[in-house]
Every structure is written in structure tokens, then in C-alpha cells.
Amino acid sequence: MGYWEEKREYEERLAEAEFCSVCGRKLTKENVKGMCIECKNIVCNKCGSLKKGKIICSDCIEDIKEREYKEKHKDKRKWNTFSICGFFLSFLFFPLGLIFSIIAINQTKTEEQKGRGLAIAGLIISIFYLFIFLFLLKFTRFF
């Protein structure tokens, strides 16, 4: 959207607005702050503030802070491939799942990777199936 389209939209919204979209105060020429660049609502002096030369309402400021916080604290570690494979193989072919899960536990201990819990789950499931296999091997006459 170009400058003139934004200016026209602002003037149309300003002419239509009677109350602040955040606090509900009646808007007059003295207390109107302007249009929020995020939500395009008209706000009063109390609810709007300037951020980098643009008007932003108090609701949008909270949303922006929350987005910035989530982006800053986002987990940027990569998943360990052995932990994923070990977990799924523990259901399909438990000896391989056991080996992959042990490798994954050792790798996630030393490297900054996600998937340690998945590797531990794969290890527990593989050991469970190993005990079932050994029980069946001992008490049945399949072999």
C-alpha cells in the first residue's frame, strides 16, 4: 500500500471513529493520537504511543513484546536423528532401536541437541521388548 492510500485510509478511519478502540474514551481533536500501524485502530493519547516514529496502541505493544520474547527464547537446537530413529525402531525392531537409543543418549549428553527424552523412551521400550522376547524364548518351545 502506497503513502496516499495509507493516508486516505487513515483519514477515513479517523472520520468514522468516535471512541478509542482500546479504552473506549470519546475521541476529540485534542485527545486523538492516531491510527495504530499494527491493528489499524484509532487510539487516544492515553492508549497510543510512538515506537520508532510510528503510533502503536497498548494492546499491540503487548503482542509485539510477546512475539519478540518468543523469538528471542526460541529453542534453536536441532533434533538428534538417532533419538528419532531409536524411538521408532524400538517398536519395529527392538535390537536396532536399543542400539540407536544408546547412541542418541550419548550424543545428546555431549552435544547441544534435542531428543534426549525420546532416546530414553526408545531405550525403555527396547528393553521392555527384550525382556518379553527373552521370556518367550525361555518358556515357549518355538526354537
Find the angle CA(51)-CA(55)-CA(57) to the nearest 5 degrees. 95
Residue 107 belongs to some domain of the structure: yes
Q: How many folded domains does the chain comprise?
A: 2
Q: What is the pLDDT of residue 143?
A: 55
Q: What is the pLDDT of residue 73?
A: 80
Are residues 91 and 39 part of one domain? no
Residues 6+ apart with CB under 8 A from 20: 27, 42, 43, 44, 46, 47
**In this structure, what CATH number is given to the domain that contains residue 28?**
3.30.40.10
Are residues 21 and 54 part of one domain? yes
Residue 69 belongs to some domain of the structure: no
Q: Per residue of the chain (143 residues), what is the pLDDT tens digit?
A: 677 787 787 778 777 888 888 888 888 777 777 888 788 888 888 888 777 778 888 888 888 888 888 888 877 889 999 999 999 999 999 999 999 999 999 999 888 899 999 999 999 999 999 999 999 888 887 65
Are residues 85 and 52 part of one domain? no
Provide the β-strand partners of residue 42. 35
Residue 18 belongs to some domain of the structure: yes
Q: Cβ distance 109 to 98 under 8 Å?
A: no
Are residues 55 and 83 part of one domain? no
pTM above 0.85, yes or no: no
Are residues 55 and 88 part of one domain? no
Are residues 133 and 83 part of one domain? yes
Give residue 92's domain range.
78-139
Are residues 11 and 44 part of one domain? yes
